[in-house]
């Protein structure tokens, strides 16, 4: 367990550094957007491209892994919406609560952390989960969020916005380009490869620091806008579902798939279970703010899962390795 904590501690410590820097105003809140832009549009795509280009295409688009992870994501969305929808939490808030329960922080945290723990082979299954969550899970939850009395025009507009968000997100395109490079055995020119390498190396530390800063900013903005904190019952069960129910669900469905002789590699299953055990994706807070959901509730779920995952994720690694 100590060996695992020696790997996971720097990752979570960097998140804490970003959080404290923003809370103490050592990092101006106005600068967080610039950090986020650097990570999302420059560093992280290069990291995903590099992993994609060095991973066999069969691992990036593993049909058996897709058949396990996608139903689990849909079950998490459906179950969270069902159990949280009430007179206070309507479709908009329930949908983004479901997204934060089903969408792990795989891009900013998961890929570099899992590669550090399990080796480069972990990148393939982890990248596949990113594609599923960006293309399917996010689009579904944005569509559900528009059901608060929305007419057909409102739902269609939400669908267009969701698809446009997927199309303009550089992460899926970086994965596709990396897969194409892997399939065609393409190697960039040395100066271009050096540039990609420099940006890719910067992705992990800057992304983790930015996660902490984004969490601090979301918490500060939400506290300034709301009259009272939401009751614990509105966010603690969702956080618990993300950290406990989601990985157990992926593990159960994966073992069932193996039992019925689906060609699922056990290592890929281990990676997907650990992906599900990651804290909630920090970018859900930005989406919730954009679509007018209760961002204070979403920020609390993300913050709680990120803090608790240092223990729960490390424990999951110890049990599965």
What would the pLDDT profile of 186-233 be if each residue is shown by its tens digit?
Answer: 889 999 999 999 999 999 899 999 989 988 888 787 777 665 667 888
* Per-residue pLDDT, 27: 94
- Residue 160, classified by CB atoms within 10 Å of its CB into exposed (0-12), middle (13-18) or buried (19+), is exposed
242-274 pLDDT, tens digit per residue, is 999 999 999 999 999 999 999 999 999 999 999
* pLDDT for residue 254: 97
Q: Is the pLDDT reported for residue 73 higher than 80?
A: yes
CA distance 4 to 114: 11
Structure tokens at 40: 């999302």
Span 168-178, average pLDDT: 86
% of the chain beyond a pLDDT of 70: 93
- d(CA 274, CA 276) in angstroms, rounded, equals 5
Q: How confident is the model at residue 5 (pLDDT cuts 50, 70, 90)?
A: confident
pLDDT band, residue 166 (cuts 50/70/90): low
Largest CA-CA distance found in the chain, in angstroms, rounded: 59
Residue 104 φ then ψ, to 5°: -75, 165
DSSP assignment of 227-253, as one string?
SSPPPGGGTHHHHHIIIIIHHHHHHHH
Give the residue, 166 or 76, on which the prediction is more confident.
Answer: 76
Q: What is the mean pLDDT of residues 54-64?
A: 85
In whole angstroms, give the CA distance from residue 213 to residue 154.
33
Burial per residue of 126-149, b for 16 or more beta-carbon CB atoms within 10 angstroms, e otherwise: bbbbbbbbbebbbbbbbbbbbbee
Query: Per DSSP, which regions of the chain are E strands?
Result: none
Query: What is the per-residue pLDDT for 291?
Result: 80
Proportion of the chain above pLDDT 90, given as a percent: 59
- How many alpha carbons fall within 13 Å on the CB side of residue 239? 19
What's the helix, strand, coil split of the chain in %, to 5?
80, 0, 15
Average pLDDT over residues 114-125: 93
pLDDT at 13: 94
Q: Is the pLDDT of residue 150 over 70?
A: no
Structure tokens at 134: 């960006």
What does the DSSP 8-state code read for residue 1? -
Please state, in angstroms and rounded to a whole number, the distance separating the CA atoms of residues 226 and 135: 32
pLDDT number for residue 104: 96
Domains located in the chain, CATH noted? 2-320 (1.20.1530.20)
- What does the pLDDT average to over 133-137? 90
Contacts of residue 294, defined as CB under 8 A and 6 or more positions apart, other chains included, come to 89, 93, 96, 230, 288
Residue 155 has pLDDT above 80, yes or no: no
CA atoms within 13 Å, Cβ hemisphere of 258? 12
The pLDDT tens digits for 275-294 are 999 999 988 887 887 788 88
pLDDT for position 22: 94
Of residues 36 and 26, more confidence is placed in 26
Lowest average pLDDT, out of 103-107, 168-172, 176-180, 253-257, goes to 168-172
In degrees rounded to 5, what are phi and psi of residue 280? Answer: -65, 150
Q: What separation in angstroms does the CA of 319 have from each of 1, 4, 274?
A: 9, 11, 10
Q: What mean pLDDT is predicted for residues 71-82? A: 96
**Residue 15: what pLDDT?**
93
Model confidence, pTM:
0.88
């Amino acid at each position: 367990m100590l060996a695992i904590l020696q790997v996971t501690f720097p990752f979570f410590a960097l998140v804490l550094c970003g959080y404290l820097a923003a809370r103490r105003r050592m990092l101006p809140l106005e600068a967080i957007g610039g950090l986020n832009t650097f990570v999302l549009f420059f560093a992280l795509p290069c990291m995903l491209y590099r992993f994609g280009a060095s991973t066999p295409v069969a691992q990036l688009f593993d049909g058996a892994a897709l058949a396990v992870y996608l139903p689990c994501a849909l079950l998490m969305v459906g179950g969270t919406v069902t159990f949280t929808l009430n007179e206070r939490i309507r479709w908009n808030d329930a949908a983004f609560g479901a997204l934060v329960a089903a969408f792990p922080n795989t891009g900013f945290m998961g890929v570099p952390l899992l590669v550090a723990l399990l080796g480069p082979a972990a990148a393939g299954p982890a990248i596949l989960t990113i594609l599923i969550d960006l293309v399917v899970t996010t689009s579904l939850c944005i569509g559900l969020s528009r059901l608060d009395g929305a007419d057909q025009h409102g739902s269609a507009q939400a669908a267009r916005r969701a698809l446009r968000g997927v199309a303009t997100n550089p992460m899926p395109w970086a994965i596709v380009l990396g897969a194409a490079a892997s399939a065609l055995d393409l190697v960039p020119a040395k100066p271009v490869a050096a540039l990609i390498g420099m940006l890719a190396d910067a992705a992990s530390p800057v992304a983790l620091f930015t996660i902490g800063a984004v969490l601090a900013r979301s918490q500060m903005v939400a506290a300034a806008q709301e009259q009272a904190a939401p009751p614990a019952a509105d966010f603690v069960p969702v956080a618990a579902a993300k950290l406990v129910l989601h990985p157990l669900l992926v593990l159960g469905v994966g073992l069932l798939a193996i039992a019925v002789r689906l060609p699922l590699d056990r290592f890929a299953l281990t990676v997907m279970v650990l992906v599900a055990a990651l804290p909630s994706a920090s970018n859900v807070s930005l989406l919730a703010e954009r679509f007018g959901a209760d961002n204070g509730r979403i920020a609390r779920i993300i913050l709680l899962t990120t803090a608790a995952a240092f223990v729960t994720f490390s424990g999951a690694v110890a049990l599965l390795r």
